[in-house]
Structure 1
Amino acid sequence: MCQFKSGIILRNRVVLTPDGNESHTDLLNQLGMEDNYMNASKAFVKAELIPKHGNRAADASEWTYRADQDIVPDWYETNAGRYEMEFRNAVRDYMHKRICVICNRAWTVMKTDETGTYYLMDGSLGKSEFGESNNYADSYVRRNLNNSDLARDLREEFGERLSPIRTNLLSLDGLKDYGEVDGDILAIPTLDLYRECREHILNSDGRWWLATPNSTPSGCSSGCVHYVDAGGDVDYDWCDAFGAVRPFFILPS
């Protein structure tokens, strides 16, 4: 399985995979090259630069490089160090254009509006059950975010500049049992926020929770909540399943 960040090394250039698709084979198809033994031995090297412990905030010089094929062209083998450095530089430039580092974490800008600039974590704080029910207000996810070291670090860094987040817990089937949650400085996106900002959100390595319930006690169930999978698609699962926690915060623009 291709890992973040993947690309193809050609003799005279590096081509990185597009956002949301780390497949070497798909990229080769876009380049008009077949992914076969002959081309692997003559024309290209499938490469990956993998952040240590998944920390994309670390400089690319600290990431793990690997050539993802058993045979490589002679031109690569005789200058492997040079081509590795070219690949690292390409990934470093890619990351500088897409992320910012705040409190030793990587973040991407989802959107900017009258409330401020929304920063979504590029990665996660780890995996967790959602909660005993699909009500985000009472969830393990929200409790852990509010008590997290990250929340403390953000308060120390930005203080009163942090904009309080209002999370509308309208269910997918249109029920308002859970109302709104207001005042948190860290939260996970709702389905509506995710849909609004989808084109600006980088895919993750696994599925991550959204705050939107599938239904509520006055509907069909309080047991299921939505998540985003590794490919960016939305689905739902039981709230006692495990998903990654990918928070955002807001600063005035």
Structure 2
Amino acid sequence: MTFFEHRRGVAAVAAGLAAVAAPLALGSPSSAGTSRDWDRDGMPNRWEISHHLDPHHANARADADKDGLRNLAEYRHHLDPRDQDTDGDGDDDGDEVTDGSAATDPSDADTDDDGTPDGDEDGDHDEVDNEDEDDATEPCAADDQDADSDGVADEDENENGTDPAEADSDDDGTPDGDEDGDHDGTQNEDEDDDANDSCSTSDEGEDDDDQGEPGDNRSATTTSARTDASASGRTVWYVVG
């Protein structure tokens, strides 16, 4: 075999290998294109899977973390649909997006870079911290996220000087929720308790439209209460648009 014949043989083998490898590298048309959003809910499969959502079920209208912002809005704002407070500033993502002129950046814990977390600011100057604005209207205080399961909502941990990622911040053997950080006779976990709490068992309640998006005339889901005679005078909470 001559040198040139050997080179032609090597080139032929290389071309054959390339022909076999090309489809493997590119993937089939279905996996490369049409399968990116199987349920056609506006959220890519990869994003849904990475945030533990079901890419086979259209759940754009659900609010997995109960922060007042639906899953599709979380995707559009580059937030975590499983974390009520993506930037950890004490102010829920839904509040940060829908607070109008007082809105802060839900992905930046200190939007104005003044050294104070957005949740501890008072955007509307009503002497109520941003993170506490919706406490009176939340239908269930238990919906507030508690990452370390110590009984204290993440948004309240900074006020107690405790770590939202550590159930026993001072390592004294007592969970932060059982401590009394402000020495007022009430345990930390009971500070925000409301006798009117009516907690839902639904993990991902769904409504009609996405909240906090351009063109949506409902900036956020709110709650109202009324006394229902059929409920023997009990205060019943209703979700309204």
Kindly indicate whether structure 1 or structure 2 has the higher relative contact order, using CA contacts under 8 Å at least 6 residues apart.
1
Give the shorter-chain TM-score range.
Answer: under 0.3
**Bigger proportion of residues as strand:** 1
Greater C-alpha radius of gyration: 2
TM-score (norm 2): 0.24
TM-score (norm 1): 0.23
